[in-house]
Amino acid sequence: MAVDGFFITGVVICLVSALICIVAAIIRQPPNDITILAVAAVELFLLVYGVAAVFRQLGGEPVAGEAWEFWGYWITALLVPVAAFWWSMLERSRWSNLVLGAVGLTIAVMLVRMEQIWDMAGTAL
Amino acid sequence: MKAKSGTMSSTSPAGRESEQEQAGGAVRAEQRASGPGRLIIAVYGIFAVSATARAAYQIATKFSAAPAAYLLSAFAAAVYILAAVALAKKGLRWFWTSVAAISVELLGVLAVGLLSVFDAALLPDDTVWSGFGKGYGYVPLLLPLLGLWWLWRHRPGRPGMR
């Protein structure tokens, strides 16, 4: 599996974001600027990743798997941080930080799958 | 019923107020969607979306290859959606709906898990519940146990809560 910079950057952002949110929950903080910005960073990365993916495809680096499947994952991934933000704002308890932390973990898994579709490296899933 | 009387921040007057409200048994039973419950609902939501997308993909692209497995995927997706919605809703009817949905989920993951061990040929392609959910880090096996425990703790008219 040709692991590219985008993929590594994305996974690192996701895991750091999840870690920040989980630590905030452990020290009994309700969602604050830091945890919300951590989730926003994941969303921002996804936007950059999507724009870059368009240019990569136009620039002769096509998706090896199904392109619509890749973009399906991307659109779903974009909605996850937004939905989690909405759900966590309805009740600002420490537990809502774990909801925000679930974003990073979920998106990290989705990035792995998107990378697999891009490279057609693993079709196990 | 107070809609969002959760634990806002424990230092604010509103927070203390809501803690006192939680002491009442009836209100306590309505705290299913509060605190840790919000995380449980969020995880159910994630599984609802991913199971639905997966089932839709399987049925749309390769239904004839393994119809039983893909119909099972669709059924699992429906169970996750129902569980997520029922957990988030108030009232006795939704409480029992969530108990039913999560019980079906537990039976499903156990049955499909055993089946994929003993008779893998019957379900040739993976579903969310195959191998007790090992493709999803065994979360599909842990989630219903966690969910039922949570519902048990927040059952209506729990003695000792009043």
Contact A30 B9 (CB under 8 A): yes
- Specify whether the CB–CB gap between B155 and B117 falls below 8 A: no
State how far the Cα of B102 lies from the Cα of B113, in Å rounded to an integer. Answer: 16
Predicted pLDDT at A88: 93
Predicted pLDDT at B66: 82
Q: Would A125 be classed as within a structural domain?
A: no
Q: Would A93 be classed as within a structural domain?
A: yes
Residue A94 belongs to what domain range? 5-119
Predicted pLDDT at B12: 44
Q: Would A77 be classed as within a structural domain?
A: yes
Contacts 24+ apart (CB under 8 A), B113-120: B113/B141
Residues of chain B with pLDDT under 50: 1-26, 160-162
A96 vs B contacts (CB less than 8 Å): 38
Residues of chain A with pLDDT under 50: 1, 122-125
Predicted pLDDT at B63: 86
Predicted pLDDT at B6: 42
Instruction: Report the number of distinct structural domains present in chain A.
Output: 1
A-B C-beta contacts closer than 8 Å: 47
